[in-house]
């Protein structure tokens, strides 16, 4: 799994211009981006080769995946939390199951699965 330093690196890359970002391509940055693709991208996109000519575009795509995945999961957690507060645990389970069904990201799927498992004894 990607660690927080990978995501910190991704945030840093987001602050750079395309030209400056292009200069960041190296073996370590390629490896970090490949780890993030494994965790955030859909299955068919996980095997993309990271090269100097697609590095900038892939960084942008991964940043978008991170942002949209976090937003979607956050929405599910908030919605499920409100349902739990209302005593509607089964409906909260459904929210997490729907989130799992709509999510291609290993990273966000695991978080949603952990949240769903936390409801097992409720």
- Structural domains of the chain, count: 1
pLDDT classification of 47: cutoffs 50, 70, 90: confident
Radius of gyration of the chain (CA): 17
Rounded Cα–Cα distance for residues 104 and 110 (Å): 11
CB 73 within 8 Å of CB 103: yes
49-81 confidence digits (pLDDT tens): 999 999 999 999 999 999 999 999 999 999 999
Angle at 38 between CA 35 and CA 43, to 5 degrees: 165
Distance, CA of 116 to CA of 94 (rounded, Å) = 9
Residue pair 15/64 in contact by the 8 Å Cβ criterion: no
Q: Which residue has the higher pLDDT, 86 or 2?
A: 86
Whether 10 has a pLDDT exceeding 80, the answer reads: yes
Q: What is the dihedral of CA 47, 52, 53, 55, to 10 degrees?
A: 60
Selection from 45, 21, 23, 24 nearest residue 34 by Cα = 45
> What distance in Å separates the CA atoms of residue 98 and residue 101, rounded to the nearest whole number?
5
Q: Tokens for 69, please give them.
A: 């995945």
Q: Which residue segment(s) compose the domain that 109 sits in? A: 4-118
């Amino acid at each position: 799994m990607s660690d927080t330093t990978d995501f910190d690196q991704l945030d840093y890359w987001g602050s750079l211009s395309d030209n400056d970002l292009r200069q960041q391509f190296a073996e370590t940055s390629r490896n970090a981006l490949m780890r993030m693709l494994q965790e955030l991208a859909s299955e068919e996109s996980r095997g993309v080769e990271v090269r100097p000519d697609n590095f900038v575009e892939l960084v942008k795509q991964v940043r978008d995946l991170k942002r949209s995945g976090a937003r979607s999961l956050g929405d599910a957690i908030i919605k499920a939390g409100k349902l739990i507060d209302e005593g509607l645990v089964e409906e909260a389970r459904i929210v997490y199951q729907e989130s799992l069904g709509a999510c291609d990201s290993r990273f966000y799927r695991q978080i949603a699965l952990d949240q769903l498992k936390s409801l097992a004894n409720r």
